[in-house]
A and B are shown apart, each in its own frame.
Chain A
Amino acid sequence: DAGITQSPRYKITETGRQVTLMCHQTWSHSYMFWYRQDLGHGLRLIYYSAAADITDKGEVPDGYVVSRSKTENFPLTLESATRSQTSVYFCASGEGDRGLNSRAKNIQYFGAGTRLSVL
C-alpha cells in the first residue's frame, strides 16, 4: 500500500523490555520523524532523519534509539521501556526543502500511530 505505515498499531510491554516500533513509507520522502503524543503535551518530536544514515535528536530523545539504513524505513527502539514511555507514537515523513516551491515541501504526513502501554 502506498503511504506511510506503522506497526504494530497496539503494543503492551513490561518495564525494562526492549520494544521496536516500525515505520515504513513508500513516497521516497527524504525526511522522517518520530513524535509522541501525550495529554497536555501535544505532539513532541523524539528523533528525525533528513536522509538515510542521517539522524538527529528532537525535543525528547532520552530512552529512544533510531536508525535509518534505508530511505523508506525509520524504526524507533525503546531500549529499556519505562512507564513514562506509555504514549501514542506517530511517525511522519516529508519531502523537505527541494524544488522551486520549496515551502510547499514542508508538509509532514503522519502514519496511523502506535499506542504503546508499558506496565
Chain B
Amino acid sequence: QKEVEQNSGPLSVPEGAIASLNCTYSDRGSQSFFWYRQYSGKSPELIMFIYSNGDKEDGRFTAQLNKASQYVSLLIRDSQPSDSATYLCAVRRDTGFQKLVFGTGTRLLVSP
C-alpha cells in the first residue's frame, strides 16, 4: 500500500461544476496535508494546506480533512478550463524534518 494514494484520473468535469479530488494516506501519525497544482511541463505550486479536521476554504478551493478516516479532499467550485492540471496531494508526518510524501496526482480536465 502506498503511503499517499490518489486516483490518477483523468477526472472530467464541465465548466462551472464542482470538482472533487480525493487523497488517502496510510500513516495515522500524519499531521499536515498539502494540495499542489501542477500544470503540464511546470513545477508544483501550493494551493492549500490543512492541519485540523474539518474544512478550510480559500476562494473557490476547499480542503477537507478527516483524520479518523485518513483522507483529505480538495473541492474546486465553479471549475474553469484554467483549472485543468494535475493535483498532487502531499502529507507530512510530524516526526523530525519536514519531509513530504507525495501522491502520484490526479489529472483534472475541465471542459468549456
Whether a CB of chain B sits under 8 angstroms from the CB of A74 is: no
**Contact (Cβ within 8 A) A97 B98:** yes
Q: Which residue of chain A is the closest to B2 with respect to CB atoms?
A: A42
Q: In the complex, how many residues of chain B place their beta carbon closer than 8 angstroms to a beta carbon of chain A?
A: 21
Among A43, A56, A104, contact of B97 (Cβ-Cβ < 8 Å): A56
Contact A111 B43 (CB under 8 A): yes
Most buried by A among B44, B90, B105: B44
Closest CB-CB distance, B47 to chain A, in whole Å?
Answer: 11
Q: How far is the CA of A56 from the CA of B46 in the complex (A)?
A: 24
Tell me whether B80 is interfacial, beta carbon within 8 Å: no
Contact of A42 with B88 at beta-carbon distance under 8 Å, contacts A31-B97, A56-B97, A103-B32 already known: yes
Q: Check if B17 is an interface residue, CB within 8 A of chain A.
A: no
Interface presence of B34 (CB below 8 A): yes
Number of A interface residues at 8 Å Cβ cutoff, please give it: 28
Q: Give the distance to chain A from B5, nearest Cβ to Cβ, in Å.
A: 10
B92 located at the interface, meaning its Cβ lies under 8 Å from any Cβ of chain A in the complex: yes
**Contact present for A110 and B99 (CB under 8 Å):** no
List the B residue with the shortest CB-CB distance to A54. B97
B25 contacts A by Cβ under 8 Å? no
* Any A CB within 8 A of the CB of B42: yes
A-B contacts, 12 listed (Cβ < 8 Å)? A31-B97, A31-B98, A42-B88, A42-B105, A43-B90, A43-B102, A58-B99, A90-B43, A97-B98, A103-B31, A103-B32, A110-B45
Q: Contact: A40 with B104, CB < 8 Å?
A: yes
A43 touches B99 (CB 8 A): no
Q: Please, which residue of chain B has its CB at the minimum distance from the CB of A103?
A: B51
Chain B residue nearest to A115 (CB atoms) is B41
Interface string of A82-112 (1 = CB under 8 A from B): 0000000010001011000001111111111
